Structure 1
Amino acid sequence: MEHLSLFIIMSILLILLPGPDTAIATKNTITGGRAGGMKTVFGTLTALLIHTFAAVLGLSALIVKSAFLFSILKYAGACYLIYLGLKSLWTLKKPGRIQDREEQKPEAKQVNCYRQGFLTNLLNPKVAVFFLTFLPQFLEPGSNTFTQFMIMGLTYTILTFIWFIIYIYLIHQLSAFMKKPAVQNWMEGITGAVLIGFGIKLALERK
C-alpha cells in the first residue's frame, strides 16, 4: 500500500487521543492490576476486529446509512457508558464495595474487565463511522479493496494493542500509589464522571 506509512502516523495520533476505552482501561488497571487492564484491552481489540470485518462486509455502511440502526447502537452504547460511570460513583457511597471488589475471584474480575472493554468499543457507532470515513482515504485505486481494508484494520488494531501495553505498564508502575484507598476513591469519582460525560456526549451525537 502506497499510503500505509501515512496511515500509521495518523492512526497513532488518533489512538493517543483519550476516549472511553482509555478511561475503562485506566479504571480496570487500577482496580484489577495489570491482568485486569490487559483483559480490558483484549475486549477492546476483539471489538475492533469485529468493526473491521463489519466494514469489509458493508455492515458498518448499513448502520451509518440507517438512522434507526445508528440510533439503537448509539443509545445502547451511551446507556452502557453511563451505567459504568454511575457504578463507579456508587462505590464512593459504599466504602465496602471497593474492598468487596478486591476480594472478588480473579477469573470473574477478568471476565468482567474483558466484557467492559468489548462492549464499550462495540456499542460505539462512532467507531463504525471512523472505519468508513478514515480508512477509505488511504485506499489505493485499482487494488483489492477487501485486502486493503483488512490490512488497515489489523494495523490499527495492532497499534492500539502496542499503545495500551505501554499505557497499562505505566499505570501499573504507579499501582502502589494508586492502591491507596483515598486515591482509589478519587480515581473512581473521576472515571465515573468521565464515563457519564462520554455517555451523554455519545447520546447527543448526530450522524
Structure 2
Amino acid sequence: MWNEFHTYWLEFLTIASVHLLAVASPGPDFAVVVRHSVSFGRRIAIITSLGIGIAILLHVAYSMLGIGLLIQTTPWLFNVLSYLAAIYLGYLGIMALKSRPNPPDLPRDQKNETVRELSDRKAFIIGFVTNGLNPKATLFFLSLFAVAISAQTPFEVKLFYGAYLALATTLWFVSLSCLLSTPRIREFLTQQGYWFDRLMGLLLIALALRLVFPGES
C-alpha cells in the first residue's frame, strides 16, 4: 500500500512542478487576465480566471477519454484547432489595439464606470474559450497524461490530478487578478491604460501569428 502511495505522490509532485512552470509562463491566458485586471477591474478578471480554470477540465477530460489521441494523430484536426485559436486571439488583439484614452475632462468616478463594459458572462466565456482553444494547452495535457502519468494510475487518482490542475490554474490567475487590480497598481497602469491595452493586443496578435506560422517564431 505504501509503495503505491509513494508512486502516486512522486507522480503528483512531477505534475505539479511541470504545471507550475507552464502556467507561470506568459501566454494567451496571461495576456487576457492582465488586460481584464487593468481594463475592467478585479471582479471581471477573477471571473475570467474561473473560465480559464474550468477550461482546464476540458483538456483533462479529452486526455483521459482518449479523444486527445485522435487530435494528436490527426494533423488536419490539430491544424483546424490552431487556426481557430489564432483567429480568436487575433480578434481579441485587434479589439485591444483599438483602445482609446479617456477624455481628459471626464470625472474620475465616471472613468471607472466606463471600463465596466464587460459582462460577467462574457468575461467567463472569454477565459474559457481562450484556454479551451489554445493548442499549446492541448499538447501540454496530452504530453502530461502520456509521459508523466502512468497508464497503471487508477482513474480516481487521475481525476484528482485533473481537479488539482484546474484549481491550481484558477488560483494562480485569481492571485494575478487581485495583485494587478489593487488600487495603487491599477491606478498606475490605468494612467496609461490604453497603451497597456495596445501592448497586450500586440502580444495576443503575436501569439496568434505564432500559431499560424510556428516555424517562423
Is TM > 0.5 for Structure 1 vs Structure 2? Answer: yes
Task: Using the TM superposition, give the Cα deviation of residue 70 of structure 1 relative to its aligned residue in structure 2, in angstroms.
Answer: 0.8
Q: Distance in 2 between matches of 1:39 and 1:17?
A: 20
Q: Which residue of the partner structure matches residue 188 of structure 2?
A: 177
Instruction: Report the TM-score when normalising by structure 2.
Output: 0.82
Alignment of 1:58 with 2:66, yes or no, is yes
Q: Distance in 1 between matches of 2:66 and 2:111?
A: 44
Change in 2 beyond 3 A, CA 1:104/1:5 = closer
Q: Deviations over 1:73-109 (max 9, x none)?
A: 11000000011101111224x867xx89944766x52
Partner of 2:181, secondary structure, is: helix
Larger radius of gyration: 2
For 1:35, give the aligned amino acid: R
Q: Distance in 2 between matches of 1:37 and 1:165?
A: 7
Q: Of the candidates 135, 141, 165, which is equivalent to residue 131 of structure 1?
A: 141
Q: Is the 8 A contact 1:47 1:121 kept in 2?
A: yes
Consecutive aligned runs of 4 or more in structure 1 exceeding 4 Å deviation: 99-102
Partner of 1:179, secondary structure, is: helix
Q: Of the candidates 114, 123, 127, which is equivalent to residue 117 of structure 1?
A: 127
Partner of 2:26, secondary structure, is: coil
Alignment of 1:25 with 2:33, yes or no, is yes
| Identical counterparts, % of pairs | 27
Task: Using the TM superposition, give the Cα deviation of residue 179 of structure 1 relative to its aligned residue in structure 2, in angstroms.
Answer: 2.7
Q: Of the candidates 174, 190, 213, which is equivalent to residue 204 of structure 1?
A: 213
Q: Which residue of the partner structure matches residue 106 of structure 2?
A: none
Alignment of 1:88 with 2:99, yes or no, is no
Alignment of 1:189 with 2:189, yes or no, is no
Q: Distance in 1 between matches of 2:196 and 2:36?
A: 11
Task: Using the TM superposition, give the Cα deviation of residue 61 of structure 1 relative to its aligned residue in structure 2, in angstroms.
Answer: 1.4
Q: Is the 8 A contact 1:44 1:120 kept in 2?
A: yes
Task: Using the TM superposition, give the Cα deviation of residue 118 of structure 1 relative to its aligned residue in structure 2, in angstroms.
Answer: 1.0
Q: Is the 8 A contact 1:135 1:152 kept in 2?
A: no
Change in 2 beyond 3 A, CA 1:155/1:190 = same
Change in 2 beyond 3 A, CA 1:58/1:104 = same
Q: Distance in 2 between matches of 1:115 and 1:12?
A: 24
Instruction: Report the TM-score when normalising by structure 1.
Output: 0.86
Q: Deviations over 1:107-146 (max 9, x none)?
A: x5222221211111111122121111123323245332x3
Gap regions ≥5 residues in structure 2: 1-7, 104-109
Task: Using the TM superposition, give the Cα deviation of residue 33 of structure 1 relative to its aligned residue in structure 2, in angstroms.
Answer: 0.6
Q: Which residue of the partner structure matches residue 72 of structure 1?
A: 80
